[in-house]
Structure 1
Amino acid sequence: MEYIMGRSSNDATDRTHEQIREHYEIEKDLAKQLMGASKSERRHLYASLYDELYKRVSHHPQLIRKTSPAETQRAIDRQLKFLSQFLTKDSIFVEVGAGDCALSFEVAKQVKWVYAIDVSEEVTRSEDSPPNFQLILSDGCSILNTSIKANVIYSNQLMEHLHPDDALEQLNNIYGALNAGGCYVCVTPNRLTGPHDISMYFDNVASGFHLKEYSISELTSLFLNVGFTRVDLYALIKGRQIKIPIRMIYIVEKVLDAMPTKIGKMMAKSSLFRGILNSRVVGIRQ
């Protein structure tokens, strides 16, 4: 373990300080390009800049970290355990940012139809997709054909990777793609416990490919502004997902935000607050 700019680094790939610094400088430069690009330019930059990062940072954890099939299955099971409460055999389920589609394939066993949305066909290519599954390629903002309505839409670690304008546009599109009574389950890291990208070792605000990290209060406000009539929050407390009052989060985040940065982040990451600050946000369209 080493210490970088006062932060503890426990990099699973045992990279050196110089390698982590190199990764940070390259990703920060690429992120600036994405933030400064026009809407039309960003449509192709999302994929191309990530490709460039992986080519230039050969020691990137996602390139060299090995994940066992058992670990992958445990991650899917954790997500599915939470999602199952919103699913029925007649549900239309959409996963935005589906990646390898492993979760979507599992959900397909429980629902009527699954749409997996991603920007890359190569990442999601599979010869063994279920019969009630369809892959839809996206420009990063679009969701579904207007004739299709979903009961449950889900994204995991996606919103923070989008330009704030694109994130808002996507959120509007997600709302429009839901049936009455449908819900959007959004999992994204909390700004108050971050940064959560490579800049965690150097900055107090995300400056890498997490183009914007949000607090729960900020997310809730965005959800309500695009039309969601209700927002529920589910916190992981002692291994259980528990619905908690929004007002509780507002108060906690307001107090932590008012503290000096170092103290506020230390408190946010403590066992006392970490569970509720990493709540899953569920927007309901009524």
Structure 2
Amino acid sequence: MSDAYSYNVEQIKEHYELEKSLAKRLRNSTKQERQYLYTELYDELFTKIYFLPQLSVKADPAAAAWIVAQRMQLIESFLIPDLIFLEIGPGDCTLSLEITKHVKKVYALDVSNEITKNLAMPDNFELIISDGCSIPLPDNSVNLAYSHQLMEHLHPDDAVEQLQAVCRTLVPGGTYICITPNRLSGPHDVSQYFDEVATGFHLKEYLLSELYQLFCTAGFSKVSLYKSYKTTHLQIPLSSLTMWLFVAIESFLQILPFPLRRKIASLPMLFRGMTVVGVK
């Protein structure tokens, strides 16, 4: 979620109170309840809070095009014409629809029926409404999977299961690009204006060390951290040998007072956001 909200203080408070209430239901839910709760609660949010930034972007073609262009700077280096692409948590699907121009097939997997209404779908595009955890695609059927601001929305109990499902769906050597905020520079949901720990639909914001362990547990054979600035992308292989440095930095930042920790961690090349790339 963007730090720059375009609506007023009263609207932010209204959004915060509703999202915190809905997120509490999701946090306290059972595995069985979450099979329908992800869809139900996100649809309620998108229906009641009509001024959400996601919906504003959807109504603004220029803003949507700018976001797609920014994300394509990283993704386009992974694209080939015969590729099967999966986006998890595609929002209004503008990125997935752009990628249909470059690949053989695109699957877009989301939990909400509301934000994806009235889509014009090309022949090589398929929208799948999921329970928020499972990925109803065959084993070894996807070359490249991608998510942007998705991991933090999952119930922590569902995180490994979904990562395992992504890994299962990928072909051998397939790649998953996962972009998610780091907890040290958060909160990054609407609760950033009220709380020191995310209490909205960011059910858990991760440290890099936590995300690395999740990827390893899920079965990815190689994990890397990508740091990007404009068209420059730095790939840092992650392993037990390199993670000690990141663990040390994260441990140091966690003992700092909240305002200082957040300020330092928010520096562009540090921990504001994490792009973690796993290879099956």
Contact preservation (8 Å) 2:26, 2:34: yes
Q: Which residue of 1 aligns with 2:206?
A: 214
Among 270, 276, 282, the alignment partner of 2:277 is 282
The answer to whether the 8 A contact 1:194-1:205 is kept is yes
Q: Which has the larger radius of gyration?
A: 1
Indicate how the Cα distance of structure 1 residues 107 and 271 shifts in structure 2: closer, same or farther if over 3 A, else same.
closer
Could you give the per-residue CA deviations for residues 211-240 of structure 1, whole angstroms, max 9, x where no partner exists? 111111111110011111111111124663
**Residue aligning to 1:85:** 77
Distance, in Å, in 1 between the alignment partners of 2:101 and 2:51 is 37
- Residue 269 of structure 1 aligns with an amino acid whose one-letter code is S
The Cα of 1:24 is off from its aligned counterpart by 2.3
The count of residues paired between Structure 1 and Structure 2 equals 273
**What are the Cα deviations for residues 108-143 of structure 1, in whole angstroms up to 9, with x where unaligned?**
221122111122345335563222222222111111
Q: Between 264-273 and 67-76, report the one with greater CA deviation.
A: 264-273
> 1:69 maps to which residue?
61
Report SS of the residue matched to 2:181.
coil
Distance (Å, rounded) in 2 between the aligned partners of 1:32 and 1:92? 36
In 1, distance between residues paired with 2:58 and 2:91? Answer: 17
Deviation at 1:93, TM superposition (A): 0.7
CA contact (8 A) 1:12 1:65 kept: no
Letter in 2 for 1:11: Y
Unaligned runs of 5+ in 1: 1-8
TM-score where L is the length of structure 2: 0.87
Q: Which runs of 5+ in 2 are unaligned?
A: none
Q: Which amino acid aligns with 1:185?
A: I
Alignment correspondent of 1:266: 263
Question: Cα offset for 1:73?
Answer: 0.8
Q: TM-score scaled to structure 1, two decimals?
A: 0.85
Give distance in 2, aligned partners of 1:21 and 1:112.
Answer: 44
Write the letter of the residue equivalent to 1:284.
V
Corresponding residue for residue 27 of structure 1: 19
Deviation by residue 1:226-270 (Cα, 9 ceiling, x = unmatched): 111111111124663222354353343232123233321121123
- What letter is aligned with 2:124? N
Deviation at 1:20, TM superposition (A): 3.1
**SS at structure 2 position matched to 1:124:** coil
Q: Contact 1:191 / 1:213 at 8 angstroms: preserved in 2?
A: yes
Distance 1:64 1:79, change over 3 A: closer
Deviation, 1:205, is 0.8
- Quick one: distance in 1 between partners of 2:71 and 2:126? 20
Instruction: Rate the CA distance shift 1:23–1:244 in 2: closer, same or farther, 3 A.
Output: same
SS in 1 for 2:86: strand
Residues 135-214 of structure 1 aligned to structure 2 (within 5 Å): 135-147=127-139, 149-214=141-206
The answer to whether the aligner puts 1:102 opposite 2:94 as a matched pair is: yes
Q: Do structure 1's residue 257 and structure 2's residue 276 form an aligned pair?
A: no
Secondary structure in 1 aligned to 2:43? helix
Going from structure 1 to structure 2, the CA distance change for 1:104 and 1:111 (only over 3 Å counts) comes to same
Contact 1:91–1:151 under 8 Å retained in 2: yes
Q: Which amino acid aligns with 2:277?
A: V
Asked whether the 8 Å contact 1:115–1:136 carries over to 2, the reply is: yes
Q: 1:124 aligns with which of 98, 113, 116?
A: 116
Q: Between the two proteins, what is the percent identity of the paired residues?
A: 47
